[in-house]
């Protein structure tokens, strides 16, 4: 395959993956429909929490599937599951109907679709562009509320909740399955031409490019657990306050609260692309540390804003934008880490295992935020706890900086280097 044809094919896969994630952003539709859902049954937030856990679980299953049968069938299955889940919700007014439809079927579908969008795109490009490509593909998920917020508002007003879910479900199947037909892995033996060999931040990445690790091997490395805990903190702390900001925006901006949600989404998407590009230049660990410290600073700076009785709509919107920006950076940095450290052969399953941190973080810390808000009667404690956790995450991230020594050339050497206690096992 010529360089020009491979480049064209690679960018086609990138755009298709971005399109799939634009549709997958329908996960955010739940928060926009939450008021109407609450009229059906108590505990409106539970189907969403179940969906987040299902999402994280199916990232592992979907990652394994896309490694074995390819991303196309995996994405199609994801589209069918999400569409079916929304259609089930359109026919149900019961709590358990929504748990099954949105929480389980749609939640699983999100994971299958998401797991099939990024890996094939990364495989078409060299290590020096990993952050950029990952950032572009996952930005679709972040920016989705920009079109979903007004679309959901219109559909609810015109058709009501049940018909809205039916329309969204059918549209999702058509869009995701259509985009999935354009997604594919490179042919066997394909090696992406690295046209940017002068990138200052990608030297450590280039050294790791030949490492291919299996899931059992990454579970024996210290880097996996450091990344998992850091991802848990970065994503979970962001999510535990993003929901609070949406509520504050509604109090201060009324019917125009969707503007704050849309602007936050733009920040979310921009953070994914900007962090990806920066990480290609500055290195993944350095970029992650910067983003976590910035996010922690925002949390502490926000306390006077969220603690006031009358919060400014402008301040809330700015706060939402920057917090969304930093939260979004996690979704491009961690898939890039996974490719750099563990290779592409088992990328889907390896990143699926790491992505479980997002699901657990979302479930645990969002619940913790709700409990803290109920106990202390405000958002101040939630923001303070999130800020402290993010600083801890930044300290953990500092250990991910490449050592100034020769990097092991094989997966078994890497395991031996990171886990000294396994030297004997590796030697055998």
Q: Which of 50-64, 249-263, 342-356, 373-387 has the lowest mean pLDDT?
A: 249-263
Rounded to an integer, what distance in angstroms lies between the CA atom of residue 209 and that of residue 336?
Answer: 12
Joined tokens for residue 86: 């929304």
* pLDDT tens column, 141-172: 888 888 887 888 899 999 999 999 999 999 99
Per-residue pLDDT, averaged over 354-373, amounts to 85
Q: Contact at 8 Å (CB) between 358 and 235?
A: yes
pLDDT band at 425 (very low <50, low <70, confident <90, very high): very low
pLDDT band at 288 (very low <50, low <70, confident <90, very high): very high
Predicted confidence at residue 197, as pLDDT, reads 42
Rounded to an integer, what distance in angstroms lies between the CA atom of residue 417 and that of residue 408?
Answer: 8
* pLDDT tens column, 171-202: 999 999 999 999 999 988 888 776 544 443 44
Q: Which residue has better confidence, 88 or 199?
A: 88
Per-residue pLDDT, averaged over 357-380, amounts to 82
For the cut 70, the answer to whether the pLDDT of residue 411 exceeds it is no
Q: Which of 151-160, 202-211, 314-323 has the lowest mean pLDDT?
A: 202-211
Rounded to an integer, what distance in angstroms lies between the CA atom of residue 161 and that of residue 44?
Answer: 14
Per-residue pLDDT, averaged over 206-217, amounts to 72
Predicted confidence at residue 305, as pLDDT, reads 74
Q: Look up residue 256 and give its DSSP letter.
A: G
Per-residue pLDDT, averaged over 241-260, amounts to 68
Tell me the H-state helices in 308-428: 313-342, 347-376, 380-397, 411-418, 423-427
Predicted confidence at residue 303, as pLDDT, reads 83
Per-residue pLDDT, averaged over 131-150, amounts to 90
Predicted confidence at residue 177, as pLDDT, reads 94
3-state percent breakdown (helix, strand, coil) of the chain, nearest 5: 80, 0, 20
Predicted confidence at residue 203, as pLDDT, reads 39
Q: Contact at 8 Å (CB) between 244 and 107?
A: no
Joined tokens for residue 404: 């100034």
Predicted confidence at residue 79, as pLDDT, reads 95
Domains assigned to the chain? 1-185 (1.20.1250.20), 199-428 (1.20.1250.20)
For the cut 90, the answer to whether the pLDDT of residue 273 exceeds it is yes
pLDDT band at 426 (very low <50, low <70, confident <90, very high): very low
Predicted confidence at residue 261, as pLDDT, reads 73
């Amino acid at each position: 395959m010529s360089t020009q044809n491979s480049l064209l094919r690679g960018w086609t896969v990138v755009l298709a993956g971005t399109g799939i994630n634009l549709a997958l952003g329908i996960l955010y539709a739940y928060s926009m429909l939450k008021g109407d859902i609450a009229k059906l049954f108590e505990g409106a937030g539970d189907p969403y929490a179940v969906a987040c856990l299902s999402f994280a679980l199916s990232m592992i299953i979907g990652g394994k599937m896309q490694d074995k049968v390819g991303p196309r069938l995996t994405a199609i299955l994801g589209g069918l599951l999400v569409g079916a889940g929304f259609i089930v919700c359109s026919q149900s007014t019961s709590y358990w109907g929504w748990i099954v439809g949105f929480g389980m079927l749609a939640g699983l579908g999100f994971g299958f679709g998401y797991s099939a969008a990024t890996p094939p795109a990364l495989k078409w490009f060299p290590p020096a562009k990993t952050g950029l490509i990952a950032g572009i593909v996952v930005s679709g998920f972040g920016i989705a509320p920009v079109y979903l917020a007004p679309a959901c508002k219109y559909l609810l007003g015109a058709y009501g909740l049940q018909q809205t879910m039916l329309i969204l479900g059918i549209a999702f199947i058509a869009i995701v399955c259509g985009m999935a037909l354009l997604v594919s892995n490179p042919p066997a033996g394909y090696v992406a031409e690295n046209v940017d060999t002068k990138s200052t931040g990608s030297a450590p990445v280039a050294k790791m490019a030949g490492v291919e690790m299996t899931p059992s091997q990454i579970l024996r490395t210290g880097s996996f657990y450091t990344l998992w805990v850091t991802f848990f903190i970065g994503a979970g702390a962001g999510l535990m306050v993003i929901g609070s900001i949406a509520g504050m925006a509604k109090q201060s901006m009324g019917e125009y609260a969707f503007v704050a949600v849309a602007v936050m989404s733009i920040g979310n998407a921009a953070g994914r692309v900007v962090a990806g590009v920066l990480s290609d230049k500055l290195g993944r660990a350095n970029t992650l540390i910067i983003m976590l410290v910035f996010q922690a600073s925002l949390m502490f700076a926000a306390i006077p804003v969220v603690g006031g009785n009358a919060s400014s709509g402008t301040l809330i919107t700015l706060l939402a934008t920057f917090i969304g920006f930093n939260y979004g950076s996690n979704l491009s940095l961690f898939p890039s880490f996974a490719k750099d450290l563990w290779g592409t052969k088992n990328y889907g399953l390896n990143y699926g295992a790491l992505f479980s941190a997002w699901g657990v973080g979302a479930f645990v810390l969002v619940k913790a935020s709700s409990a803290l808000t109920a106990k202390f009667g405000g958002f101040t404690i939630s923001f303070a706890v999130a800020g402290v956790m993010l600083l801890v995450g930044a300290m953990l991230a500092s250990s991910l900086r490449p050592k100034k020594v020769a990097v092991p050339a094989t997966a078994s050497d890497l395991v031996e280097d990171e886990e000294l206690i396994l030297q004997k096992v590796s030697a055998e």
